[in-house]
């Protein structure tokens, strides 16, 4: 399992005095995916990211990045990790190209890498302007270029869409999807822009008060406790039948039922069961709950 | 430490267009020009063979006693501010480089600026002394040889390593300018109290007075001051790098 994971944490805990910012986190981030790490403000997202990058030391627990344990001395492991934490870490008195050059020198990369990442971020025309003259969107793109400079297998992004306009967000999304599809990079991104995560991520983790509330594929989350609505001609008979077959009927009234299901196969089975019993099914509907509603329901609970 | 050279070249690039680099040129230049202006304005008709020596001594004294300790504090604060101001620590310390390498490279970058500013000062003194000789031919040619000036300035900048290391540690540890500024001002104030009170050994070996103590080869504590400045600077720098590399930056 560990080999197929870009990030794995075991019992990851971090306390600040009496405050537990991250509590027993068991992250499992599969390689080659975009993992959206969601949580309200103060949930422990940034602390988790700082722990993953070795900027903070865990009080308890371990972190494995690309299958290797993260230790204080083992900095070489970070060669496979690029990061953009909150605001991009840029030197405003240097040009965009010089900002990349600083990291290129430290990572001992070839000079051609700078042109490659500038092209990816669409900053070639502005590469020789000092960063203090850049717009927020340009800084964000340069920050992403900086994270991608060392060709890491894993990129960790903390609120990358912060301050971007809709066009910038769309561009960011395209860039991230290009990195995943063309370069097989794993992206771990924290965000509170739920709509964005819904459009980008294929895996989701939801954190609140330092604890992971959910972790899994986006579809699993969207299915999370969303009942199946069944409209049939003999509602009470249908309800009794489904209960007898072991399904949990949450609501039954006249010809409308709500049945708890987890897989698409359950819907097919329910339909067949009702039809076989001579009950006419007019409608089978599984409402797609917006991620935002789900998120709020989970975190408020 | 195998990554020290790349980290050093990166530090060098970061200094581009910074106030620290501009000050390394302007601070010694302004001191030299100020003293030059004072000497050009003097009306010593008969001339004195000691005047050119006096010009060099006054410049070097102002530099080593007053300006250099403050300049060292300023350089340390400005180098640290490059990272503090934009919170670039979170990027820098997440790179696959040993943290101590990053702090050692910052320490060396500051030392290089101190040496560079000393070089500017010594060059300035020699050049302006030549200009004075042309303007005031009666002042003779009794100026100490250029090599002596370069040597004195170089040794005093080496003796400043201890002060610089203390200031660098403080500047990297705290984001605010204030702790570094308070220590620099207190250090200078104590130096002005300690030296004239005549507690010779203490006054001579007080970190802020070490650059001045090494200027004159006739000072009885010259060698001790130089050794303390250099070795103390390296030792405090090493402890600071060790401490900072173990700290969490968040």
Closest CA to B22 of B80, B71, B55, B58: B71
Asked if B113 and B20 count as a contact pair (C-beta separation under 8 A), the reply is: yes
CB contact set of B174 (below 8 Å; sequence gap of 6+): B180
Q: Which residues of chain A have pLDDT under 50?
A: 1
User: Which residues of A fall within a CB distance of 8 Å from B3?
Assistant: 106, 108
d(CA B169, nearest CA chain A) in Å: 19
CA distances from B181 to A42, B67, B240 (A): 35, 14, 18
CA dihedral (B183, B188, B194, B197) positive or negative: negative
Within the 34-53 window of chain A, which residues sit less than 8 Å (CB to CB) from chain B?
50, 53
Per-residue pLDDT for chain B (250 aa), expressed as one digit of tens each?
678 999 999 999 999 999 999 999 999 999 999 999 988 887 665 556 677 788 888 999 899 988 999 999 999 999 999 999 988 999 999 999 999 999 999 999 999 999 999 999 999 999 998 888 888 777 666 556 788 889 889 999 999 999 999 999 999 999 999 999 999 999 988 888 766 665 566 667 889 988 888 887 777 888 888 999 999 999 999 999 999 998 887 6
pLDDT at A2: 54
Nearest Cα residue in chain A from B7: A106
Contact with chain B for residue A55, Cβ under 8 A: yes
Cβ-defined contact of A78 to B10 (cutoff 8 Å):
no
The answer to whether residues A146 and A102 touch, using CB atoms and an 8 Å cutoff, is: no
Cβ atoms of A66 and A44 closer than 8 Å: no
Give the pLDDT score at B76: 96
Residues of B in contact with A101 (CB under 8 A): 13
Chain A nearest CA to B84, separation (Å): 10
Chain B touched by A108 (CB under 8 Å): yes
* Closest listed residue to residue A39, CA positions, set A157, A218, A211, A207: A207
Residues A82-98: tens digit of each pLDDT: 999 888 899 999 999 99
Sign of CA dihedral B236, B238, B243, B249: positive
ipTM of the modeled complex: 0.87
State residue B131's pLDDT score. 86
Query: What is chain B's Cα-based Rg?
Result: 19
Of A75, A128, A149, which to mutate for an interface test with B (greatest number of B Cβ within 10 Å)?
Answer: A75
Residues of B in contact with A190 (CB under 8 A): none
Q: Which pLDDT belongs to residue A90?
A: 94
B96/A130 touch (CB, cutoff 8 Å), yes or no: no
What angle separates helix B146-159 from helix B161-173, to the nearest 10 degrees?
40
- In whole angstroms, how far apart are CA B3 and each of A75, A301, B15, B100? 12, 50, 19, 10
In this prediction, residue B190 carries a pLDDT of: 85
Q: Which residues of A touch B93 (CB under 8 A)?
A: 54-55
A89 touches chain B (CB under 8 A): yes
Answer for the pair A195, A169: CB distance below 8 angstroms, yes or no. Answer: no
Q: How far apart are CA A55 and CA A275, in angstroms?
A: 60
| pLDDT value of position B53 | 80
Half-sphere exposure of A238 (CA within 13 A, CB side): 30
User: Over chain B, what HEC string results?
Assistant: CCCHHHHHHHHHHHCCCCHHHHHHHHHHHHHHHHHHHHHHCCCCCCCCCCHHHHHHHHHHHHHHHHHHHHHHHHHHHHHHHHHHCCCCHHHHCCCCCCHHHHHHHHHHHHHHHHHHHHHHHHHHHHHHHHHHHHHCHHHCCCCCCHHHHHHHHHHHHHHCHHHHHHHHHHHHHCCCCHHHHHHHHHHHHHHHHHHHHCCHHHHHHCHHHHHHHCCCCCCCCHHHHHHHHHHHHHHHHHHHHHHHHHCCCC
Judged by DSSP in three states, A280 sits in: coil
pLDDT for the residue numbered A40: 84
Residue range A121-149, pLDDT digits in tens: 889 999 999 999 998 888 988 999 999 99
């Amino acid at each position: 399992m560990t080999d197929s994971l870009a990030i794995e944490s075991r019992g990851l805990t971090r306390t600040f005095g009496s405050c537990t910012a991250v509590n027993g986190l068991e992250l499992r981030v599969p390689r080659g995916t975009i993992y959206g790490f969601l949580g309200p403000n103060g949930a422990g997202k940034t602390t988790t990211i700082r722990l993953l990058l070795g900027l903070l030391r865990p009080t308890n627990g371990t972190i494995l990045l690309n299958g290797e344990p993260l230790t204080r001395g083992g900095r070489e492991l970070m060669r496979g990790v690029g990061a953009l934490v909150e605001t991009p870490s840029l030197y405003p008195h240097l040009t965009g190209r010089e900002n990349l050059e600083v990291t290129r020198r430290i990572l001992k990369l070839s000079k051609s890498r700078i042109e490659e990442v500038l092209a990816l971020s669409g900053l070639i025309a502005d590469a020789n302007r000092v960063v203090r003259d850049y717009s927020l969107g340009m800084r964000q793109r340069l920050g992403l270029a900086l994270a991608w400079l060392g060709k890491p297998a894993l990129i960790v992004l903390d609120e990358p869409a912060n301050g971007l306009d809709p066009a910038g967000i769309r561009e960011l999304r395209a860039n991230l999807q290009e990195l995943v599809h063309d370069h097989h990079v794993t992206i771990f991104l924290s965000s509170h822009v739920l709509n964005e995560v819904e459009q980008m991520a294929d895996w989701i983790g939801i954190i609140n008060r330092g604890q992971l509330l959910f972790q899994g594929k986006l579809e699993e989350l969207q299915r999370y406790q969303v009942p199946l609505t069944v409209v049939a001609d003999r509602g009470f008979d249908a309800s009794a039948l489904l209960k007898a077959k072991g399904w949990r009927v949450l609501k039954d009234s006249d010809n409308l039922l709500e049945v708890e299901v987890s897989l698409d196969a359950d819907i097919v089975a329910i339909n067949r069961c009702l039809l076989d019993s001579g009950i006419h099914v007019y409608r089978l509907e599984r409402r797609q709950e917006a991620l935002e509603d789900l998120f709020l329901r989970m975190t408020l609970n | 430490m195998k990554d020290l050279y790349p980290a050093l070249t990166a530090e060098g690039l970061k200094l581009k267009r910074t106030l620290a680099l501009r000050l390394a040129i302007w601070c010694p230049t302004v001191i030299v020009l100020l003293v030059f202006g004072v000497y050009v304005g003097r009306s010593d008709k008969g001339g004195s063979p000691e005047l050119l020596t006096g010009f060099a001594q006054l410049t070097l004294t102002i530099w080593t006693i007053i300006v250099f300790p403050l300049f060292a504090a300023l350089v340390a604060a400005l180098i640290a501010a490059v990272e503090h101001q934009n919170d670039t620590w979170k990027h820098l310390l997440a790179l696959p480089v040993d943290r101590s390498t990053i702090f050692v490279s910052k320490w060396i970058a500051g030392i290089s600026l101190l040496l560079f500013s000393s070089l500017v000062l010594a060059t300035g003194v020699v050049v302006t002394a030549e200009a004075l000789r042309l303007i005031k031919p009666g002042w003779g040619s009794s100026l100490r040889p250029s090599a002596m000036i370069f040597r004195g300035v170089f040794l005093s900048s080496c003796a400043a390593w201890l002060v610089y290391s203390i200031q660098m540690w403080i500047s990297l540890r705290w984001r605010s300018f204030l702790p570094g500024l308070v220590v620099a001002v207190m250090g200078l104030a104590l130096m002005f109290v300690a030296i004239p009170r005549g507690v010779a050994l203490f006054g001579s070996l007080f970190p802020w007075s070490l650059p001045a103590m090494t200027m004159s080869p006739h000072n009885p504590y010259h060698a001790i001051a130089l050794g303390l400045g250099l070795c103390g600077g390296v030792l405090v720098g090493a402890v600071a790098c060790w401490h900072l590399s173990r700290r969490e930056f968040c």
